[in-house]
Structure 1
């Protein structure tokens, strides 16, 4: 028993000796730093406490810095041009504050902040090209680290459906509370298609309800816009005096824009094509690969002028400016019901044709951003008054340069009102993937013979059609034009086919 105990103590002694040697070896390794130790501990204890407190305060006052990335705008857009910065480094921003405006080849987009914080860095200069998924700015946030994790999730293209919460297609504020977004989602409404009436364009519950009412046929007052008037006879002196004495309730017309004085620079200037100009290059290059054929005719709008004059005051009482274009668009839709091949599209190899169920009729507009073609959706389901209301909205957005992707995409047939500028005839170019387009000239008062061979004053408008000759023959285009012309020359005949 004593031998066993003696052996156990011997083993324990060896283990303790090994641990002692290890500790000694560690101390020898750090012996070279022994001279530094007194320097460290000579610091005043009060200074140490002050330094630690100051460091702690700095950490608390500086929030996490988030790289705010350019999220997926949609439509396959991978790069945009930075048109304008609304902030600079050091500026304090809040949620939904505008950060910058970017422009793709399809639309202008205003990027808004997701966070409350301070701008620390701008990644791009004005007119520089920004890439989707790359940082736009660094923001020192006032939030916790959980916000950074959320940023990495929300800003990915897979979550593009959430982009309308923090981005806005220019002219369509998409600032909305979760309750409003839920209401829009339940009714399958895109926030980008709703114009907000709240503060800073915030979308309210009432805006969603009004949008639903419009979809079901209710008439809502839109934003008024100036329209092109047809030439008319000069008023008699008595009538002019009466009109002067009578109070006018219509808004005063804006003075015509002044033409800037030309400046001779004296040197060549080269600049890259960007935005809508770049998009036009692609579109027109593809368009002119289509074999076009043209067809022209003239339309007597004398009866339509009288009908519109009768209905104009009724429309204004409902807050709608009624021009001739809603009649042109509705007549085209009625004609497309009889000739659906004109409301179709073909694939790139022209091997398949798709007949479109919706009549999304576009209107070519001359805007400050160039030629844009917004379209009125589902014209086959709309009345003339509803079409006029939607045109009012598109005209107002176009004049303000605020047309978004929702208005510019999805067209199936196009009318170009070249007469609003002053043309009579033109050769319109088809807008792919559409297969037909019409161009309307200005309305002129010209002498014509009536049924009794008497010379009368007539309101004449010329129309020029272009069609894809690969799938549309001249006879089809002619028959469609004759039907469209019949509806306009005899507006009462439209009543038989209206739904």
Structure 2
């Protein structure tokens, strides 16, 4: 593509002066591919002294440009037997340059949320899949250009350039398109400001904004973290009497309107004020709304279908929290010095771990063929959490550096990377548990969500329903675990002391559920009583710590 008439004249002059035969190995004399033979008719070639031999048309297109190699980047198998995922967001757009390990997109499976990274260096050619849609493993996520090539459009971006269009070999015609001065001077142009590229949104929304000349930098997004949604752009286009544009004056007198064809370089999008006479929009009284089951909802359905096949039994008790309240208050200053906000939960998790040592059947699971009981050495205690994406149950296990005196024969102490290993609850202090619990809570509230590694391997679960105001509950066991406990809110209630006097006591209700195939009621009661004794007598808890 030739950018202007002056460039065309200079190029043809150089070609005419070369006086070299076109075809074979001499094709490069035609300005190194700047002018392609297929652009001109036979008459035009003769006019400029060029040969029209048959070799001219048999020349490979590789002599003029090296097209990029476009390959698909497939959605790889992310394990756990997952066949499809939900596309949450794109991090790239067509035309973006990417390198290895750059983020491409974020997907969510039944298990966890995963960010997909690039395996190649190149340029994004196209995206496949809409945000919110489902994608199957093995389908292409994007097409990417992985080899450099001469872009045939790189010299033709200007709207005032003169374009020479190629014709088919069977019908060679001279096609020269020269826009008139009036066309290039007064044609309205829509564009985005430089700030629009930094706005959080999707390629679909950017395309819609470009088509209507909307500057996304001026649109207030209603999505998570200010993300501009498609509805935000549609509301600007269709709601409240339309969209108004304001041009900065820059001291040039009156500002020209878009109708006159003169645009100043800075535009601001203004949202019109709502019409006060417009009647309020009321939701329909009848009808229904349906939405596909995806993400965490799919996982919950699958998990509950399996869990409700387990024969449950329940056990409940109440705990006096007066002594634990005093212990927590004494530990809070030290915890705050470590950057930790100490709650009751880390202490109750530690007490549960000590009780599990005495009653390991509570920390077991039943094999798939129901012929073996598997006793787990690690106490990976799960904690149910309410997150923006739904209920998740990460478990407490801390990755720590392994001391050099604990290397296995297969490990290499001279390696630059110090080996790490997971420590479960029975080897952690209350402060360690509180720190890990705080990290999981922060991850659960962020956009990326809790990591898949934190969701694997739970052996026992505690659910703090008191955090949302609950007192009693019938918890459901998560397969393959055999027990779960639900902790109610702490209430100040009247109770009799050892002298028969009515006193104000801090009371918490606990509701247990057990798998009656492996755990009997007496074992659950003994486990609960030991756990209760350590909470009501913290000195007993300290004495049992190892």
Aligned counterparts, 1:205-216, within 5 A: none
The DSSP-based 3-state class of the residue aligned with 2:527 is helix
1:352 aligns with 2:352: no
Q: Give the CA deviation at 1:469.
A: 0.8
**Match of 1:264?**
283
Q: Give the CA deviation at 1:364.
A: 0.6
1:305 aligns with 2:325: yes
- Alignment CA distance shift 1:482-1:66 (3 Å): same
**Match of 2:347?**
327
- Alignment CA distance shift 1:141-1:447 (3 Å): same
Rounded Cα–Cα distance in structure 1 between residues aligned with 2:494 and 2:435? 33
Aligned counterparts, 1:270-309, within 5 A: 270-309=290-329
Aligned counterparts, 1:221-260, within 5 A: none
Aligned alpha-carbon RMSD (Å): 2.7
**Match of 1:486?**
533
1:71 aligns with 2:76: yes
Per mean C-alpha deviation after superposition, the further-off stretch among 393-402 and 418-427 is 393-402
1:102 aligns with 2:107: yes
Per mean C-alpha deviation after superposition, the further-off stretch among 445-454 and 90-99 is 90-99
**Match of 1:384?**
430
The DSSP-based 3-state class of the residue aligned with 1:476 is helix
Which string of whole-angstrom CA distances, capped at 9 and with x for unpartnered residues, describes residues 52-101 of structure 1? 79854520xx4322311112212222211112222232233333332211
2:481 to 394, 418, 434: 434
- Alignment CA distance shift 1:269-1:476 (3 Å): same
**Match of 1:495?**
542
**Match of 2:221?**
none
1:44 aligns with 2:42: no
Aligned counterparts, 1:330-345, within 5 A: 330-345=350-365
Rounded Cα–Cα distance in structure 2 between residues aligned with 1:45 and 1:384? 87
Question: TM-score if structure 2 supplies the norm length?
Answer: 0.59
The DSSP-based 3-state class of the residue aligned with 2:512 is strand
**Match of 2:165?**
none
Question: TM-score if structure 1 supplies the norm length?
Answer: 0.64
The DSSP-based 3-state class of the residue aligned with 2:132 is coil
The DSSP-based 3-state class of the residue aligned with 1:58 is coil
**Match of 1:134?**
139
Gapped runs of 5+ residues in structure 1? 1-37, 145-261
Which string of whole-angstrom CA distances, capped at 9 and with x for unpartnered residues, describes residues 22-64 of structure 1? xxxxxxxxxxxxxxxx99x9882599999979854520xx432
Rounded Cα–Cα distance in structure 2 between residues aligned with 1:131 and 1:346? 32
The DSSP-based 3-state class of the residue aligned with 2:292 is coil
Which string of whole-angstrom CA distances, capped at 9 and with x for unpartnered residues, describes residues 251-299 of structure 1? xxxxxxxxxxx98355322222111111111111111111110000000
Q: Give the CA deviation at 1:142.
A: 4.5
Which string of whole-angstrom CA distances, capped at 9 and with x for unpartnered residues, describes residues 452-476 of structure 1? 2222222110000000011111100
- Alignment CA distance shift 1:374-1:53 (3 Å): same
Rounded Cα–Cα distance in structure 2 between residues aligned with 1:450 and 1:263? 57
2:446 to 400, 411, 418: 400
1:58 to 50, 61, 65: 65
Rounded Cα–Cα distance in structure 1 between residues aligned with 2:458 and 2:345? 17
Rounded Cα–Cα distance in structure 2 between residues aligned with 1:46 and 1:482? 99
The DSSP-based 3-state class of the residue aligned with 2:506 is strand
Bigger relative contact order, structure 1 or 2 (CA pairs below 8 A, ≥6 apart):
1
Q: Give the CA deviation at 1:143.
A: 7.0
Rounded Cα–Cα distance in structure 2 between residues aligned with 1:282 and 1:487? 36
The DSSP-based 3-state class of the residue aligned with 1:68 is strand
Which string of whole-angstrom CA distances, capped at 9 and with x for unpartnered residues, describes residues 181-221 of structure 1? xxxxxxxxxxxxxxxxxxxxxxxxxxxxxxxxxxxxxxxxx
**Match of 2:469?**
422
Rounded Cα–Cα distance in structure 2 between residues aligned with 1:380 and 1:263? 56
**Match of 2:170?**
none
Q: Which one has a larger percent helix, Structure 1 or Structure 2?
A: 1
- Alignment CA distance shift 1:51-1:304 (3 Å): farther
